[in-house]
Amino acid sequence: MWHLYNLIAAGDRVQATTIRKVTTDNASGDRESERVKVKLTLLVEALDYDAAAAQLRVRGRNQTECEAVKLGAYHSLELEPQRPVAVEKDAWDGAHVERIRTACDPTICADLAAVLIQEGLAHVCLVGGSTTVTRARVEVAMPRKHGAAIAGLDKAVHKFFEQVLQALLRHVDFTAVRCLLIAGPGFTKDALVTFLFAEAQKRDLRPLLEARTKVVVAHASSGYKHALSEALADPAVATRVKDTRASAEVAALDAFYDMMSNDSARAFYGPGHVRAAHELGAIQTLLLSDALFRTADVVQRKAWVDLVDGVREAGGVAHVFSSAHVSGEQLGQLSGVAAILRFPLPELEDMEL
């Protein structure tokens, strides 16, 4: 659904089946209403994407003649997984084609599950090539570790870990994920791992027991989603999750930050500086957010597509980051476009572009 959201734009035509309520007058003069299934083609004007529900709503004017919906009338289509949909464009560019190839590649999926945990708070996330989705948030009030309240600490910890276990069983397909990352500050993450496999042994939770070799424990500054990029940047973790696309994006972003710190004349961000560097044939690695491709301005979109194609044709590497991914969110804070150069361009640093 995320790929469809990035493919469909205003001005496209989208065809799908929908349910429409139709009201008619019967022979006795009473009005009757019934729900009928119709196939409509909309000229798209707007889109709404709900990542948590995996739903995409497309709104626009009807282009199909039928009794239920007048030609030119406004309507909306709810697009969901497992429901056929056809998309027609006046022109398909290289970024569209790459998006389709990515969507059709079975190896690019939610191949990493992560639990970010600190005392009393945990987030269960699924990380794929396109999105980082928080599937569950677990929060339990923990008693103080001194005074009379300490008597209830063990009970509260057990309740907390049990809720995390249930969230994992509900939301993670252990046969599909390549790695289960458990990260956070202190010893809470280690205590959780001990609890998970003790309970899995006790209750014979086969999927979890068989996933023992996929578990990686790492340090992170907190139990919040933003700390995921820290854990993925850990070299020990990166080695274990090197086959996931998420790690490649994090590595590219880390390399950019390192270059900014050590040789700022070889690291630039912002449309003006990056395009100027490209005109000089200097870009070695391009980092671009897919949010830039969702512009309604055809000329502007073509300029971004040409930039990606140009960098690749010149022997460079172009990473198109998903804006729904933690690394993509970080890149978005740098205007959505950045580049590591082959050679330093100190004259660009002083130019306002």
- Compute CA distances 10 → 50, 281, 295, whole Å: 18, 33, 9
Please state which CATH number belongs to domain 112-243: 3.30.420.60
Domain boundaries, the chain: 2-90, 112-243, 247-349
13-25/267-269 β-pairing: unpaired
Residue 133's SS3 state is strand
- Phi, psi of 220, deg, nearest 5: -145, 155
pLDDT tens for 65-102 read 887 788 898 989 999 888 899 999 998 988 888 888 87
Q: What's residue 295's pLDDT?
A: 78
Q: Which of 103-112, 117-126, 179-188 has the lowest mean pLDDT?
A: 103-112
| SS3 per residue for 38-75 | EEEEEEEEEEEEECCCCEEEEEEEECCCCCCCCCCCEE
Question: Which architecture characterizes domain 2-90 according to CATH?
Answer: Roll (2.30)
Dihedral of CA atoms 188, 192, 193, 197 in degrees, nearest 10, equals 160
pLDDT digits (tens, 9 = 90+) for 235-254: 777 766 665 556 677 888 99
The tokens for 34 are 């019934």
Contact 178, 243 (CB under 8 A): yes
Both tokens of 35, joined, read 């729900």
- Residue 270 burial (C-beta neighbours within 10 Å; 0-12, 13-18, 19+): middle
Give the mean model confidence (pLDDT) for residues 268-284.
Answer: 95
Burial environment of residue 302 by CB neighbours within 10 A (0 to 12, 13 to 18, 19 or more): middle
pLDDT at position 256 over 80: yes
- Range of weakest confidence among 89-98, 148-157, 179-188: 148-157
Do 2-90 and 112-243 come out as alike in CATH topology? no
Q: How confident is the model at residue 183 (pLDDT cuts 50, 70, 90)?
A: very high
Fold of 247-349: 60s Ribosomal Protein L30; Chain: A; (3.30.1330)
pTM exceeds 0.85, yes or no: no
Short-list 247, 315, 245, 241, CA closest to 103? 245
Query: Are the beta carbons of 119 and 142 closer than 8 angstroms?
Result: yes
